[in-house]
Structures are given as structure tokens and as C-alpha cells.
A and B are shown apart, each in its own frame.
Chain A
Amino acid sequence: MRSLRGYRKRRGGILMAQINMVQSLNKSIDLLMANDERVVVMGEDVGKDGGVFRVTDNLLSKYGEERVIDTPLNELGIVGMATGMAMYGMKPIAEVQFQDYIFPAFDQIVNNAAKIRYRTGGRFNVPLIIRTPYGGGVKGGLYHSQSGESYFVHTAGLIVVTPSNPYDARGLLVAAYKKNDPVIFLEPKRLYRASRAEVPDELFEVEIGKASRLREGDDVSIITYGSMVPVVMSTVERNGVNAEVLDLRTLLPMDIEAIIGTAKKTGRVVIVHEAPKTLGVGAEISALLAEKAIDSLLAPVMRVTGYDTPFPYTHEDLYIPNEKRIMGAIHRVLAY
């Protein structure tokens, strides 16, 4: 059956659309807003402009300015206000335009949003989603490229997720909406329009805390997430590596069973992420493996990550892990 736009088709009675991550997120928010009046969108340029990446495009005309709120330019204000709204009966989806700009709101996130349930003995809670694009690859220099997930993964009380494809983007956002706790929703901006996928035209969930095994393999496990997922997939496929690939999808809490399971299966683990190496998510995975799967490891756990430098402009391609560096680590663990 043809739909109005021509690219939709029905599968099992549900309209399927071939859409990119931006379109998927846009539709997700649209569906959530249509479904639940408590949901509002707020942030810089989210209204008329539809967000600088267009994730909130056309929502203002549909839902009005009480629900699609163009805010003043102040991240701590956006997050603090959204936290107050969430405490008192609303479900805000706040956008921080670039994750690089989230730091003024860090106190609100870490000391208010993440701690309000705990400090009030569970009598208040903060069902808040903070969406923010992160990562490099768009020639954004120091301040439109950072991968700051570790700052948030270090904070009990937060949930941290990051999709790597349009399908998971929908499912994780819906799952985040169902949580009654603050969720840092990290969107790998390089993947916003990188690919299309079939996404059912409905609200479905991708369970928070569950990794996705994208590929089965026996020789080595590659644990990755976000923008590195397509890089890892093409690397192992082009080089014929018999690798198991895990897309974490949730960074807090991580899927410990999947991590330990794949390590026990292959005995060799390479972790790939774009964020700097020191105290990155890879460090945590590596420590978990040392604590819980040391007997199964046949080689040192290797990390292929962004460098411990600020994110450079001219040489951003050097900073982001690539096929060559990933294969280097794979060769080392296979040869160990």
C-alpha cells in the first residue's frame, strides 16, 4: 500500500517508513506529544526553527508554544526549569543544542535532577529527558564535537542512552519517556542523516539496559556504541573478521550480562568509542571484565578511542577511531 509520501509500506498492518534518525526522533516526539499532554519540548531554537538539526521540526505549528517552548539562551535555566516542571507533573523533553554546551547545566543535572528522588526519600521524582547531539565528524571543532558521556555515566541517578540507528532512536526515546527518572539522551549527530532504516510508525520500546548484538562471531568481541557502530561494522565486514559486535545502546546502566557473555564466548575484547580514553566508558568495561571475566580472557582488553586531547578541527578525521586503528587493535588481541 502506498502512503502519501510514497516511501511507506505496510508490514503486519503497521506502516513502515524508511527514515533517518532525525526523522525518527521527530516522529517519536510527535507521537509522544500526541499521546500525552504532559510531554513538552523546550530548548534553544526548538520552536520556529525546529531545532538546529530539525529534530523538533513542525512541532510548534502542531502543538503551540505552551508545549514547544523556545527558551532564552541559558542551559542551566533550561535544565533547571525542566527539572522543576518534571517534579510537578510534566514530562519535558529538553534539548541542549550541543552536548558541548551542557556544562553550565551540569550542577542542575548532577545535583538536582539526578538526586531529587534520592534526597526526598522517593517522594519526588524527575521524569525528564535531556536530548543532546554529541560527537564529531561534522567539522565542528572543539565546541560542537565532544563526547562527554563519561561525565554523566559517573552519576548515580541518571540513565544514559545513545542510539546508533533510526530504529533504536525511536525505541530508546519511548523507553526513556516511560522512565520516571532523568535520562540523558545522547544523539550521535554524525549519524543523524547517515542512513535510513525501516521504523514502524508507532510507539515501541527498545529496553533500556539491553545491548544489541549486531553480529555474531567467535574470534573477538567488539563492544561499541553510538557513532562508532557503523565504523566498527564496516571494518569487520570489509576485513572479514569473525567478530561479535555489541552495540551497548545504554551506557548507564550497562548490559553487564551481554558484556560478560560475549567476553566469555570469544575471550578477546576490543572496545571502541569516540570519547577520550582516560576514564572513558571503555575503562569501566575493561574493569568490569577484569572483575568478572578474567578467567575467560585470552588477551588484554584493548581500547580504541578518541585521543586525550581537545577535539581538533582540521584533523578531526585523525581523532575519530577509524578502520585502520580498529584493525590494529583486533590484530593485536588476535595475535596475543
Chain B
Amino acid sequence: MAALGNLSNDQIVTAYRNAVRARTLDLKIINAQRQGIIGFHVPAEGQEMIQIAIGMLAEKDDLIFSYYRDLALYLQRGVPISLIFDQMLANGNDFQKGRQMPDHFSFKEFNFSTVQSPVGSHLPLSVGAAYSFRYNKKKGIVIVTFGDGATSTSDFHAALNLASVFNLSVLFVCENNGWAISVPTNRQTKADIYKKGAAYGIPGKRVDGNDLIASLAGLQEAFDYVRSGKGPYLVEAVTYRIGPHSTSDDPKKYRVDEITDGSENDPIKRLENLMLKMGVVDLNFIQSAKAQAKEEIDRTMEERMSIPAPDPSTIFDDVYEEPSWIQEEERRDIDGSD
């Protein structure tokens, strides 16, 4: 078991199961999108293992600002598939009352924050949250994930600088999947992403985000550093976006010269091979894990589809703590009769 470090078989099996569940869910949602059941999806296919690793090392008190492509991270943190579907279907059970596009989750109960579409703009929020944690002597650190495209935003640089100046406990994790929609990382930046912290006095590290063991080992050092109160840390997890940017995107238009389809580096395959080689599981287990995931996900989607949409008049709620006369007037006129 040496190659798997201090991990127990249970931990590995759970990690594997969650990665498989995330992958199965991804494919299911893409299908549902094509059938018009779900409006949109940002697949995390290929990025599961770094997300699982973050989920394994994050403690309950740690607050995570995820981005819109973190499906496996939610599952590893215990978010039930039913809640994922409630948001994706934007039904009446959705915590966010059907107000956000699919994949824009806010699982507060699992100590996640809230996901927005504008790339990178959650990074300054995460710094503020870390300030509040220290100010209020709350346990836990803040972890924030984002893609390679986000490293070009002003928000990224502002956040790194602020986190460093105020010596805040923020772990920045860039999931570098090689692409920001159609723009490859080498057109996003001429520098190594993990070195970008240096300008702000922040240490950085690059890890193989497709390998569970390597991700855990690299992240462990970063977690330890941030947890010890030394300040922020920047991890670049190199991974690969196997699928399109979103269901609205066609990579055939721009990925023509790509030498890989990601399959030789597929993080799930790699973990499978490792588990089989180390004798943690056998082929039967692999097959049954996949079948179980499929059964769970098919059943759950079916079940959640029957939940009706939120009441239309709720679109006027939560603009403010108390609606102003403007929302009330518009609510009265929702059918044009007022």
C-alpha cells in the first residue's frame, strides 16, 4: 500500500466512487440538456480528481468558494445528488428558488459559498470571508477554486494582493484545464500560473491534477501552510477539460490541432489502474461502482423532475430583505392586469 501513502482503502474507494458519480452525472446532464430537460451544463469531465482531492483535505469548518465546474468537489463534500438535480432543474426545491443557471450552486449547509458567472469575481469575496474568519476567530480556512482563464482577470490579481497584504488564510486553487472556452492557456498567459503568486509574496506549487495521490500530496503542503496561519498559497492543478466548455460550445471549431483527447490522462482511469494494480479492488468492483452510480443518478433525476417549478411570484422576493414599492407594484402587475 506504500504508493497510496496514508490513505485507507475506504478513503480511496470513496474517492473513486465520487469521481465516478461525478462523471456519470456529467454525462447524464449533458444528455438531459440535449433532451431539453436541463437548460445548460458546464461539464467537469476530466477534472474530477483534483476536485476530489480538495474535498478530501478540506475540513468541515473550511469554507469553499467553488466555481461553476466543480461537480466532483460537491459530491466529495457530501452534497446529495438530489440537491444537485434540484438546482440543475431549477425546481421548487432548489435552494436558490430557480434563479440561477445550472451549475451555479450555493450549498451553504456544506460550507460552500455561492457561484456566479463572471469569471474570477468570487476571488475577492473569498479574501473578505477569510478576513471575517480571522476577525471573528472562526475555525477554518478559505479555499477558492477557479479556472486558468480567471488568472487573467483583475479580480485574481486584486485578490492575491489583498490576501497577501493582510496575511489571510486563503488557499487559491487554479484548475488549469488547458482551455478558457476556445483560448488555450498559452494564449491566456506567457507565465506559469503557479508562479504568479510570487509577485505578491505568495508561494505556489504545480500539481498533477489528474492524479489523486499527486494532488493530495501537493495540496497537503498547501493546506498545511495556509492552516498554520502563514498566509495565502497558490496551487496550479494541471488537468484537462475533456468535454466542451459548456453544452453551448462546440470544441471542434477550435480544438482541431489538439494532440490529446484527454483519455490517456483520464484521472478516473488512472485511479482505476492504480487501485487494480495495488489490489485495493477488482474489476467486479469497478463495474458495480459504475452501475450503482448510474442507477442512483437515473433514479434521482426521475424523482426530482416531478418537483414543480417555484411559484412565479417569488421572482420578486429576495431582491431586498423587504421588497420596495417597486417590486410590489411589479408583482401586482405580473400578468399585465394591474
Q: Is A116 an interface residue (CB 8 A)?
A: yes
Question: Is the beta-carbon distance between B155 and A80 smaller than 8 angstroms?
Answer: yes
Chain A 89-120 interface mask (CB, 8 Å, partner B; 1/0): 11010000000000010011001100111111
Is B100 within 8 A of A112, CB to CB?
no
Contacts of B94 in A (CB 8 A): 121
**Chain B, residue nearest A40 (CB):** B135
Interfacial residues of chain B within 85-115, with CB under 8 A of chain A in the complex: 94-97, 99-100, 104, 106, 108, 113-114
Would you give the 0/1 interface string for A66-92, flagging 1 where the beta carbon is closer than 8 Å to chain B?
100101101011011111111111101
In B308-335, which residues have CB < 8 Å from any A CB?
317-321, 324-327
Q: Which of B162, B318, B320 contacts A121 (CB 8 A)?
A: B318
A76 and B158 contacting across the interface, CB-CB below 8 Å = yes
Determine the chain A residues whose CB is within 8 A of the CB of B106 once the complex forms.
119-121, 123-124
Instruction: Identify the interface centre among B114, B127, B130: most chain A CB within 10 Å of its CB.
Output: B114
A80 and B97 form a contact (CB under 8 A): no
Asked whether B51 is an interface residue with its Cβ less than 8 Å from the other chain, the reply is no
Asked if B292 is an interface residue, CB under 8 A from chain A, the answer is no
Number of contacting residues on B, CB 8 A?
A: 47
Q: Is the CB of B129 within 8 A of A87?
A: yes
CB-contact partner of A71 in B162, B320, B321, B327, under 8 A: B162
A88 partner, pick from B124, B129, B321, beta carbons under 8 A: B129
Q: How far is the CB of A77 from chain B (nearest CB, A)?
A: 3
The verdict on B165 contacting chain A, using a C-beta distance below 8 Å, is: yes
Say whether A226 faces chain B, with CB atoms less than 8 Å apart. Answer: no
Q: Which residue of B lies closest to A77 (CB)?
A: B158
- Bound-state CA distance A86–B127 (Å) is 12
Interface size for A (C-beta < 8 A) is 47
Q: Known contacts A85-B129, A122-B317, A124-B108; is A209 also within 8 Å of B121 by CB?
A: no
Q: Is A277 an interface residue (CB 8 A)?
A: no
A84-B320 in contact (CB<8A): no
Q: Residue B286 at the A interface, CB < 8 A?
A: no
B133 touches A88 (CB 8 A): yes
Complex: how many Å from CA A121 to CA B135?
27
A253 at the interface (CB under 8 A from B): yes
- The answer to whether B99 touches A81, judged by C-beta atoms less than 8 angstroms apart, is no
Answer yes or no: B159 CB below 8 A from chain A CBs: yes
Chain A contacts for B324, CB-based, 8 A: 209, 252-253
Instruction: Note all chain B residues with C-beta closer than 8 A to A115.
Output: 116
A118 to B316, CA, bound (A): 9
Interchain CB contact under 8 A, B319 and A118: yes
* Bound: A74/B157 CA distance, A: 10
Contacts of B155 on A, CB cut-off 8 Å?
76, 80, 107-108
Chain B residues within an 8 Å CB radius of A107: 118, 121, 155
Who on chain B is nearest to A71 by CB? B162
A25-44 contact mask (Cβ, 8 Å, vs B): 1 or 0: 00000000000000010000
Query: Which chain B positions have C-beta within 8 A of A87?
Result: 113, 125, 128-129, 132
Closest to A92 in B: B128
* Chain A residue with the shortest CB-CB distance to B329: A256
Alpha-carbon distance A159/B326, docked complex (angstroms): 12
Set of chain B residues within 8 Å of A247, measured between Cβ atoms: none
In the bound complex, what is the Cα–Cα distance between A181 and B322 (angstroms)?
A: 10
A272 to B136 CA separation, bound complex (whole angstroms): 45
A197 in the interface, Cβ–Cβ < 8 Å? no
Give the distance to chain A from B103, nearest Cβ to Cβ, in Å: 13
Contact residues in A for B131 (Cβ distance below 8 Å): 81, 84-85, 90
**Distance A180 CA – B114 CA, assembled complex (angstroms):** 18
Interface residue B161 (Cβ < 8 Å from any Cβ of A): yes
> Given A84-B127, A111-B118: A120 and B96 within 8 A (CB)?
yes
Q: Chain B contacts of A72 at CB under 8 A?
A: 161-162, 165
Instruction: Name the CB-closest residue of A to B164.
Output: A72
20 A-B pairs within 8 Å (CB atoms) are namely A72-B162, A74-B158, A80-B121, A81-B131, A84-B127, A85-B135, A89-B132, A90-B135, A107-B121, A108-B124, A112-B121, A112-B122, A117-B318, A118-B319, A119-B99, A121-B97, A122-B97, A122-B317, A123-B95, A123-B108
Contacts A72-B165, A121-B94 known; 12 new A-B pairs at CB < 8 A = A72-B162, A74-B158, A77-B162, A81-B125, A85-B132, A89-B132, A90-B136, A107-B155, A117-B321, A119-B114, A124-B114, A209-B325
Give the top 4 A-B pairs by smallest Cβ distance, nearest first.
Answer: A84-B128, A80-B124, A77-B158, A84-B125
